[in-house]
Copies of this chain bind each other. A is one copy, B any other.
Amino acid sequence: MPEVIHSLDPRTGASAEEVGTETSRTDVDRIVRTAAGAAADLAALGSAGRATLLDTIADELEADREHLVAVADRETALGPDRLHSELTRTTYQLRFFADVVREGSYLEATIDHARETPMGPQPDVRRFLVPLGPVAVFAASNFPFAFSVPGGDTAAAIAAGSPVVVKAHFAHPATSELAFSAMERAVARAGAPEGTIGRVHGFDAGTHLVTHPGITAVAFTGSLSGGRALFDLAARRPEPIPFFGELGSLNPLVVTRLAAAERAAEIGAQWVASSTLGAGQFCTKPGLALIPAGPDGRAVRDAAVDKIQSLDTMWLLNDSIATSYHQGIEKRSALTTVEVHSGPVRSDTAGFAVTPTLIECQASDLHGQDSPLLQECFGPTAVLATYETEDELLGILRRLEGSLTATVHLGKDEQAVPQQLLATLRERAGRLIVNGFPTGVTVNWAMQHGGPWPSTTSQHTSVGATAIRRFLRPVAFQNFPDPLLPPELRESNPHGVPRRVDGELELRADPSIA
C-alpha cells in the first residue's frame, strides 16, 4: 500500500488533512515519459508561446491567491503577510521570466558568416541554445511558493523550454497540489502540451526521478546531506546529468570598527531581525556575525542580545527542522566558551515551536570547518563572534566554506581596509552586500543566488534572468541553407532577437523592448 500523505499543522504538530498518496515508481515512470513526450511541442511553442504560458501561470496563481495563502499558512505557519508577499514575488518572477524569454538574449544567438582567416577559408557557423529536456525540480520546504512547485526553478525550466517534474516537499503537500492545479489550468489555457509540468510525492519517488533516463537535469534546494546524496546519484548514472543544487550556507556578516562606531544599535538589532526572519528559515540567513572587540562592538552585541530577548517563540516548518534546531542549539550551548542568549523559554507552546537563540563567542573559538559554530543551523539562531584584529578577521574568513552571500557593514566613506576584506569575501560567496542584509533575494537581470560549494553545486544562479541558462545547451549549425535554420538564426532575423554577428553585438530590432 502506498503511504498516505498528511498535511501537518506546525502550530499543533497534528495532521490537518490527507493529501493523496506517495507516487509509485510506475507512476514516476509514466510522468517522466509524459514530460519527455511534451518536450518537442513545448520547444515548438517558441519564445512567444512560452512567455504566454508563464504569464498565464502567474494569472492562475493570482486568481487563487486567497485560497493558496490560507492553505499555505495552515501548512507552514509562516503567516499570511509573509505568504502574500511571497506569492507576489512568485508571480512577479514568472512574469519576469516571460519578459526575459521575449527579449531573446537568453538564446545567445550568434552568427559567423563564411570568411577567410589565417587558418584558411572558414564555413558559415550559427549557434544558439536549445532546451535540455525534462528537468526534475526538488521543492524547498521554506518557500512554499517561491522555491516550490511554481517557484524559480520551475519558471526557469519552462522559460528554457524544458518540461518540469516537481518533487513536492512533504512539509506542504496541500499547497503543492493547489499550485499544481493552477499550473495545469494555465498549461491547458495557454495551449501548452500535457506533460509540460508534472509532480510527484515521496522520498522514493524523488530518488527514482534523479536516476530516470528521461530526466536530463536536476534542480534542488535543501539540506547539504540530502543534496549531496542526490548529487552523487546524478553523477553516478550511466549518463551523468547536471545537478543544480543549493545545499547550505553560513552567510557571514562582518561589522568593521568604523561601522560599529557609527551604527552599533541599528546593526545589532537589524542583524538579529534578518537572522530570525521567517523563523530563521532563509537560505540567506546571516548565520555568523563578526564584530570588533571594544566598546563599539559591545554596543552591537548589546543591541543584538536585546533584540533576541524580545522575540517570542516561533513555529518551524516541520518536525525534522524543529528536531535539528533543538540538537543544534544543544550542541552549540554545550561549548564551554560560548554564552547563550534568548527570551524566556515558554512551556505552553504546541507544535513545532522553538525559542530564538543567540550564541555569543570569541573569534578565536571558531576553529576549523568542523566547529558547530561554523555550520548552518536552520531556524531562528545565529552566532555572534568578536574579533580582536583585522588580521584575525581575515584569517577566519579565509577558512570559511562557500556561502551564497557575504555582508559587510562599513563606516561612511570607509575605503582603507575594505578592498582586502572584499577580495577575501569574493572568494567565498556569490553575492556581496554592503550596509544591508542578505535575506530577501530580488529577481532581476543581475541577481546571483549561488556561490562556492557547498552553498551551490554549479557556476550558475537559481534566481534571476540567467537561471534559465541551467536548462539549455548550445547547438551550432554549419553551412545550413537559410530556410532550414531555426528562425532566430536566419539572415532576416524574423523574431528580432539580439544577436552577435561576425563578432559584433546587434540589439534587437524592436526598440520598444531593447
How far in angstroms is the closest Cβ of chain B from A441?
10
A460 to B, closest residue via Cβ: B474
Q: Looking at the complex, which one of B40, B89, B422, B466 makes contact with A423 (CB distance below 8 Å)? A: B40
Enumerate chain B residues within 8 angstroms of A436, measured Cβ to Cβ. Answer: 123, 478-479
Residue A175, interface by CB 8 Å: no
Number of copies: 2
Q: Mark A109-139, 1 if CB is under 8 A from B, else 0.
A: 0111000011110110111001010000000
Q: Is the CB of B479 within 8 A of A435?
A: yes
Q: Is the CB of B235 within 8 A of A442?
A: no
How far in angstroms is the closest Cβ of chain B from A445?
5
How far in angstroms is the closest Cβ of chain B from A337?
27
How far in angstroms is the closest Cβ of chain B from A496?
13
Quick one: which of A19-58 are within 8 Å of B by CB? 40
Q: Is the CB of A478 within 8 A of B432?
A: yes
Residue A484, interface by CB 8 Å: yes
Quick one: which of A428-465 are within 8 Å of B by CB? 429-436, 442-448, 450, 452-454, 457-461, 464
A71-79, A320-328, A502-510 - interface stretch: A502-510
A500 to B, closest residue via Cβ: B445
Query: Once the chains are docked, how many angstroms separate the CA of A415 from the CA of B120?
Result: 30
Q: Looking at the complex, which one of B108, B410, B431, B470 makes contact with A476 (CB distance below 8 Å)? A: B431
Residue A85, interface by CB 8 Å: yes
Enumerate chain B residues within 8 angstroms of A112, measured Cβ to Cβ. Answer: 442, 444-447
Enumerate chain B residues within 8 angstroms of A415, measured Cβ to Cβ. Answer: 481, 483-484
Quick one: which of A469-506 are within 8 Å of B by CB? 469-470, 472-481, 483-484, 498, 500, 502-505
Q: Is the CB of B445 within 8 A of A474?
A: no
Quick one: which of A359-405 are within 8 Å of B by CB? none
User: What 5 pairs between A and B have smallest CB-CB spacing?
Assistant: A448-B476, A235-B235, A127-B446, A110-B446, A112-B444
Q: Is the CB of B498 within 8 A of A442?
A: no
How far in angstroms is the closest Cβ of chain B from A235?
4
Q: Looking at the complex, which one of B122, B130, B445 makes contact with A442 (CB distance below 8 Å)? A: B122
Q: Is the CB of B240 within 8 A of A484?
A: no
Q: List 20 A-B contacts (CB under 8 A).
A: A40-B423, A105-B505, A110-B445, A112-B446, A122-B442, A125-B442, A127-B446, A132-B459, A235-B240, A429-B475, A431-B475, A431-B478, A445-B502, A445-B503, A447-B476, A448-B475, A448-B476, A450-B474, A460-B474, A504-B514
Query: Once the chains are docked, how many angstroms separate the CA of A236 from the CA of B89?
Result: 36
Enumerate chain B residues within 8 angstroms of A502, measured Cβ to Cβ. Answer: 445
Enumerate chain B residues within 8 angstroms of A295, measured Cβ to Cβ. Answer: none
Q: Is the CB of B448 within 8 A of A127?
A: yes
How far in angstroms is the closest Cβ of chain B from A125?
4
Q: Is the CB of B239 within 8 A of A103?
A: no
Of A105, A430, A448, chain B has the most CB atoms within 10 Å of the CB of: A448
Residue A419, interface by CB 8 Å: yes
Q: Is the CB of B454 within 8 A of A239?
A: yes
Residue A262, interface by CB 8 Å: no
Q: Mark A77-110, 1 if CB is under 8 A from B, else 0.
A: 0000000010011001000000100010100101
Query: Once the chains are docked, how many angstroms separate the CA of A99 from the CA of B132?
Result: 30
Given A459-B469, A507-B507, output 10 extra A-B contacts at Cβ < 8 Å. A99-B503, A112-B447, A117-B442, A415-B483, A415-B484, A432-B478, A448-B475, A459-B470, A498-B505, A505-B514
Enumerate chain B residues within 8 angstroms of A118, measured Cβ to Cβ. Answer: 88, 92
A502 to B, closest residue via Cβ: B445
Enumerate chain B residues within 8 angstroms of A443, measured Cβ to Cβ. Answer: 119
How far in angstroms is the closest Cβ of chain B from A450?
7
How far in angstroms is the closest Cβ of chain B from A36?
11
Residue A315, interface by CB 8 Å: no
Of A103, A119, A431, A514, chain B has the most CB atoms within 10 Å of the CB of: A119
Residue A426, interface by CB 8 Å: yes
A472 to B, closest residue via Cβ: B459
Residue A294, interface by CB 8 Å: no
Q: Looking at the complex, which one of B418, B474, B498 makes contact with A459 (CB distance below 8 Å)? A: B474
Q: Is the CB of B505 within 8 A of A122?
A: no
How far in angstroms is the closest Cβ of chain B from A451?
8
How far in angstroms is the closest Cβ of chain B from A292?
19
Q: Is the CB of B498 within 8 A of A127?
A: no
Enumerate chain B residues within 8 angstroms of A235, measured Cβ to Cβ. Answer: 231-232, 235-236, 240
Residue A214, interface by CB 8 Å: no
A470 to B, closest residue via Cβ: B459
Residue A222, interface by CB 8 Å: no
Residue A343, interface by CB 8 Å: no
